Every structure is written in structure tokens, then in C-alpha cells.
Amino acid sequence: MNERAGSAGQSGGARPSRQINVVLRSHEPYVSTGAAPTLEPEPPVAVKPQTPGDPYLEISKELDAMVGLDNVKLLIYEIYALLQVSRMRTEAGLASGSHVYHMIFKGNPGTGKTTIARIVAKLFNKMGVLSKGHLIEVERADLVGEYIGHTAQKTRDLVRKAIGGVLFVDEAYSLARGGEKDFGKEAIDTLVKAMEDNRNQFVLILAGYPLEIEQFLMTNPGLPSRFPIQIEFPDYSIDQLIQIAELMAKEREYTLMPQALFKLRQHLMAEKMETLYSFSNARYVRNIIEKGFRHQAVRLLHQYPSASPGKQELMAIRPEDLRWDARS
Ligand SMILES: Nc1ncnc2c1ncn2[C@@H]1O[C@H](COP(=O)(O)OP(=O)(O)OP(=O)(O)O)[C@@H](O)[C@H]1O
């Protein structure tokens, strides 16, 4: 289990740098399709410029730093807009309604689900929906126990820890894999009860591979209606993976040299084709880049045994630094 706190600091600053031009049908704002929705004769949903102190400002900076995911970014903006308008409606003496924010994240490994869950937790905290805005990330082994009653206890303890934040259950479908007699069923029942008992006190996000999550929801007919927000995280294209690699390098003040980028692109094309659904997208790229930093360090120590190689060389990731054999 991982606990990852989402910071709750306020930000000031300028207008947002981007505008989302995806068009959604107004009657289906909560289900993202992953692909750009088909066009309707409606004006595009545009992100309103934020004023300093606007809670969305910091969130939008974090979202902008992520490559692609336009459908996800749009949905998060819609949630923000709904929360803002609910607040205004309350102030105007109108019914603001009680909304349910439990979510399903469908996507292959490394498509950004956990990162977005953390941003969602922060948004809800800044908007006053969640008191803490932290993320408790769990998987089957954290929830399921070894004897009767153990599972319910373990699950309840984790829900308690998640109060005020988000409980993120990765590979949620594995809870249903053993059928009726499995303790996973007890974990699901306990989670459902906790959603009723602790209304609006935590947000539950179930995440996993698209097909398996679909099957999971089908075998639990009571579940889908409890998760009104479903988001698809598409696999990244090769161009997006390259952009992500460049971003990861830039964040650490490294530069991927053109030949290194070419080598990486060739490798990603082959790897993606070979591994298909098990390809771990941005996580795979992160691993290669981080190994690249280590290989570069060893190379530089050998090439420049007695002096600093200089700033440019310290930054340059060359093709020989990017390796993907078992040893690398
Ligand atoms: N769109 C993106 N732009 C930049 N970096 C990204 C993007 N998506 C993911 N990453 C990075 O890739 C890594 C893996 O992302 P993350 O853990 O959010 O994926 P995940 O879908 O939760 O994976 P898994 O299902 O395997 O747990 C993280 O380091 C994250 O910062």
C-alpha cells in the first residue's frame, strides 16, 4: 500500500496556457470515451481563464505538464466547473444537489491513472469536497485477508485511512477473480457498505485494464451505478511516448540527443508491437530514461576520469546510454 499525499497549497498566478477544444454532448458530461467524441453542432467547451487564487490554477498547471489525455483533462475541468457552480447555486439559495464522485479508471499500465487520481484528490481538496486530499493506493493484497472477518477488518481500516481523501484500488477486477467464495467478494461488499456509511467523506476510484474492469462491472450489477464517472485512459502513441521521454529528461535537466531519440523511437515501436496489452506505456519510458541517467553517469566517469565533462556533456543522453537488455 502506498500513501501519497496531495498538497493542498494555494497558488496565485497568470491565465491558463491552454484551451480545450474537445466538444462533448451536454447530456453526457461524465463518461469519457477515450477517443475525441463525435462532433455536434455545439460550441466547444473552453477552459475559462483563471484569476489568481483560483483553485483550478495549480491543477491546470499539473494537467498541462501531462502529454495527451485531452479527454481526462476535459473531464477534470467539468468536475471543477460543477463544483464552482454548485457553490454559486448554494450562495444564490438554489438546490445544489448532492453529487457522487466515485470513479472508474480504465486503462492499460502506465497510462497515467495514478497520477490523475492524485490530481483529482488535490482538486477535491482545494474545492472543499475532501478535507485532506491525500491518496491511499491499494491492491488486492492490501484489502483481502486470510480468514473470515479479516478482509472486512483490513478493508475498513484502509477506508478509515482514506477518509478525507481518495482510496485508489488498482487492478480492482482481481477482487472478483475467485468468485462468490473468495474473500475478494467480502472486500467488495465492505467497500460498497463504506460508500454508503461514509457518504461524501472519501472518493473511491477503481482502476484496471479496460476489458477486465468491464467484466468486473458486469459480474457485479449493483456496482456501475455507484460509479457515475468513468474515464478511459488510452494507450499513448509513439509520438506521445517520445514527448513523455523528452519531458522526463527535461525535468531533470538532461537532453535526449537526436540519435538517442531515434534509437528510442525504433525500440518503442518494436516493443509496443511485441508486448501489446502488457506494454506499460509511460512507466516503460520512465524506466528506460532512469536507467539512461545511470548509464550516462558510468560512461562519463570512464570518459572523463579526472575532470568534469562540462555542462553540455553532463546533460547529454546519447544513444549508447539507452539500453534495454536484461542487464541494463
Ligand atoms: N501523460 C503523461 N505525461 C507525462 N508523464 C506521464 C503521463 N502519463 C504517465 N506519466 C508518467 O508515467 C509514470 C506512470 O504513470 P502512472 O503511475 O500514473 O500510470 P498508471 O496508469 O497508474 O500505471 P499502473 O496501472 O501500472 O499503476 C509516472 O511516472 C507518470 O508521471
Q: Tell me: the pLDDT tens digits for 102-149?
A: 999 999 999 999 999 999 999 999 888 899 999 999 999 899 888 888
Amino acid present at 8: A
**156 in a domain, yes or no?**
yes
E strands within the chain? 2-5, 103-107, 134-138, 166-169, 203-208, 229-233, 255-256, 316-317
* Contact by Cβ (8 Å): 186, 152: yes
Among 4, 115, 238, which is best to mutate for testing ligand 1, by the most ligand atoms less than 8 A from CB? 115
The CATH number linked to 263 is 1.10.8.60
Same domain, 244 and 123: no
Gap from CA of 264 to ligand 1 centroid (Å): 18
Same domain, 292 and 218: no
pLDDT of residue 326: 55
**216 in a domain, yes or no?**
yes
Among 233, 267, 292, the domain boundary falls at 233
Atom of ligand 1 nearest to the CA of 208: 25
Same domain, 138 and 84: yes
pTM reported for the whole predicted model: 0.82
CB atoms within 10 A of CB 42: 10
Atom of ligand 1 nearest to the CA of 112: 18
Same domain, 187 and 61: yes
Rounded CA-CA distance 254/247 in Å is 9
Question: What's the average model confidence in pLDDT over 175-194?
Answer: 82
- What confidence category does residue 216 fall into, taking pLDDT thresholds of 50, 70 and 90? confident
CB within 8 Å of 263: residues ≥ 6 apart? 319, 322
CA distances from 295 to 207, 217, 309 (A): 34, 44, 15
3-state secondary structure of 105: strand
Same domain, 269 and 221: no
Reading the block at residue 307, the C-alpha cell is 575532470
Same domain, 243 and 315: yes
Rounded CA-CA distance 244/250 in Å is 10
Rounded CA-CA distance 105/209 in Å is 9
Same domain, 97 and 224: yes
Q: Tell me: the pLDDT tens digits for 283-294?
A: 999 999 999 999
On the 0-12 / 13-18 / 19+ scale of CB atoms within 10 A, 78 is middle
**326 in a domain, yes or no?**
no
User: What total number of domains does the chain contain?
Assistant: 2
* Contact by Cβ (8 Å): 138, 1: yes
Please tell me if the CB atom of residue 234 comes closer than 6 angstroms to any atom of ligand 1. Answer: no
Please tell me if the CB atom of residue 22 comes closer than 6 angstroms to any atom of ligand 1. Answer: no
- Domain encompassing residue 100: 2-233
Question: Minimal CA–CA distance to 262: which of 284, 274, 246?
Answer: 246
List residues bridging with 138 in a β-sheet: 169
**111 in a domain, yes or no?**
yes
Same domain, 161 and 294: no
**304 in a domain, yes or no?**
yes
